[in-house]
Structures are given as structure tokens and as C-alpha cells.
Amino acid sequence: MMQISELGFLRIFLAGSLLVLGLTLRFVDIPPGSSFGLGLPWTYADPEIWKKGNRRFGELLLGWWAWTVLQLAVGFPEGWIPALWAPLVIVTVGALSYPARLYQRRYHTLRFRRARSAENPAIPGGAGWPLVILREILPLTALLVPILVVRELSPELPERIPVRWDLVHGPSDWRWKSEALDLLRHQTMTVYLTVFLLEGAYLIWKWIRGARRDMAKTMLTRSHWHYYMFKLGWVLVFSGINLAFVIHARGERGAGWFLVPGAVVLGLLGALLALQHRRAEYAPPAGT
């Protein structure tokens, strides 16, 4: 099957197209009902929804452009799913659902449930999207830093690198350097994309089920913070595994320390869940 790395010129063309379309939709006031723009029944119905919908569409396309540029700069990922289909699905869902939500809020008399509740409060309340975006820096950093470090160390590495580890016999699967580095890099990327797409599917499911509240508040609830720790912990674990294999291949000791950050985050998550369960078990019944 053809890899997207064999079509580098197409990625450059895609990045240029996304940048032009994203900037146009985000910053140019397109006339309502124009043939260029997010033409949907719920955007044609209201000039303000048309304007806001096109702006959000432009922002999503600019995000896709940034992701494409990152692929070209860092050299990952090579598969079609993370490089093309995953961002396409995210952009499509976001572009269609955002103006639909604006239309529903304006023209339908629905009662929206509040994000804060006694069982699952927002932490902290009112912070909104800035905090949601800011906290994503940590898993992205945990993903990118090992890739950049390994890229710098690549000329110093031996021709064969371990990619599997046996607790009894140590390294059990050695591969050629280029193949091994691709495998180690892609498995971390796969873990990140998997937990990210599961998070997106959960938010879409909540929206379909009638949780019409602000998505930023949904993502700041206690349960979602727990999922964020789960995501961060596993990205740290796999990034640490990749660094540990590379450091071991260089003949250095202490590679196991790279697994500590992920283990600490996952251990802290387990302690928080156990504490929450214990508090719920001994809490007085409601209404007493």
C-alpha cells in the first residue's frame, strides 16, 4: 500500500490549500448565501450564523494546516489515517456541528443542562477554552520532544536498535535503525491519536444525547480531567519507552528512568479515583 511519505508534494500542496482557504474563511467577510463558504441549511437561515460558521470552519482548516506543517517539519506520521483521514473527520464534524448548535440555540426553545453539578463539577469553573487548549500542550510536548531528541541522536545510534523487551532476557527484537525508529515513533503517535479520537467520539456522543452545554465546560468536569490524566500518562509511558530503547542502544545506563513520569501520572490518577470512590462510599445519602 502506498505510503503518504511517497507523496510529499501532495502534502505541500495540501498545506498551501488549507492555509489559503483557512485565512479566507476566517478573516474575509463572505456575503451570505455565497457559493464560497459553508453552505448549509442552518447557515443560510441566519447571516450571523453564516458568518460565525465560516469563521469556525476557517479556524479548523488553519489547525489542519498547522498539523500538516508539523508533519513536514518533524517527519511524522507516515500513515494515511493520522496524516489525512483523522484531521478530515475532525474538521468535518466541527464545521457541521458548530453552526447547527448555534441555530438550535437561537431558534429552538430547549433547556440546556448546566455543566456544573454536584456529582461532576467543573474544575475550575468558568476557565473555558483557554484552559482546555493550554493543558493540551503537555501531551503534545510529551509526544514531540522524544521525537526531536531521537532525531538529533540518530547519527550516533548503531545500525540495529531494540524495539521489544523481555523481562527475563532483556531486548528481544532488534531491527535496522530506520525501521526501528519509525516503529517506535509511530506507536507513540498511534497511542495519542487513539485516546484523542476516543475523547472526540465521547464529546460527540454527549452532544447527540442532548448535553447541549458548553463543550469547554464538559471538558473541565472532574471525570474529563481524569481522562486527561489517563491520556497524558499513557503518552508519557510510550514516549519514555521509545527514549529508553534508544538510550539502551547507545550503551548508556539508566534508561528505565524515562518510564517514571508516565508511571507517576497514572499512579496519581489511580489514587484520585480510589479517593473519589471512598468518599462516595461514605457520603451521606442525598436529602439527609
List the domain range (segments joined by +) for residue 143: 123-288
Picking from 50, 76, 110, the residue at the C-terminal end of a domain is 110
- pLDDT level of residue 111 (50, 70, 90 thresholds): very low
Record the pTM: 0.55
* 160 vs 162: CA distance, rounded Å: 7
Picking from 89, 110, 131, the residue at the C-terminal end of a domain is 110
Q: Supply the pLDDT for residue 77.
A: 52
Whether residues 67 and 91 fall in one domain: yes
Whether residues 141 and 56 fall in one domain: no
Is the residue at 116 inside a domain? no
Whether residues 149 and 51 fall in one domain: no
pLDDT beyond 50 at 149: yes
- Looking at the chain, the number of H-run helices and the number of E-run strands are 11, 2
Cell numbers at residue 230, please? Answer: 489517563
Q: Supply the pLDDT for residue 81.
A: 60
Question: How many distinct structural domains can be found in the chain?
Answer: 2
Please report, in angstroms and rounded to a whole number, the separation of the first and last CA atoms in the chain.
Answer: 64
Whether residues 80 and 136 fall in one domain: no
Is the residue at 79 inside a domain? yes
Whether residues 151 and 104 fall in one domain: no
Is the residue at 282 inside a domain? yes
Mean pLDDT of the 217-224 span: 79
Whether residues 250 and 145 fall in one domain: yes
DSSP 174-201: EEEHHHHHHHHHHHHHHHHHHHHHHHHH
Whether residues 25 and 142 fall in one domain: no
Is the residue at 127 inside a domain? yes
Is the residue at 50 inside a domain? yes
% the chain with pLDDT above 70: 74
Is the residue at 118 inside a domain? no
Is the residue at 285 inside a domain? yes
Whether residues 51 and 128 fall in one domain: no
Whether residues 131 and 234 fall in one domain: yes
Comparison of pLDDT for 19 and 180, the residue scoring more: 19
Whether residues 14 and 92 fall in one domain: yes
* 132 vs 225: CA distance, rounded Å: 10
pLDDT beyond 50 at 6: no
Most confident range (mean pLDDT) of 6-15, 152-161, 232-241 is 232-241
Whether residues 133 and 156 fall in one domain: yes
Burial level of 259, CB count in 10 A (0-12/13-18/19+)?
middle
Closest to 216 measured CA to CA, from 105, 116, 91: 116
Is the residue at 115 inside a domain? no
Picking from 79, 110, 141, the residue at the C-terminal end of a domain is 110
Mean pLDDT of the 119-127 span: 52
Cell numbers at residue 185, please? Answer: 515513533
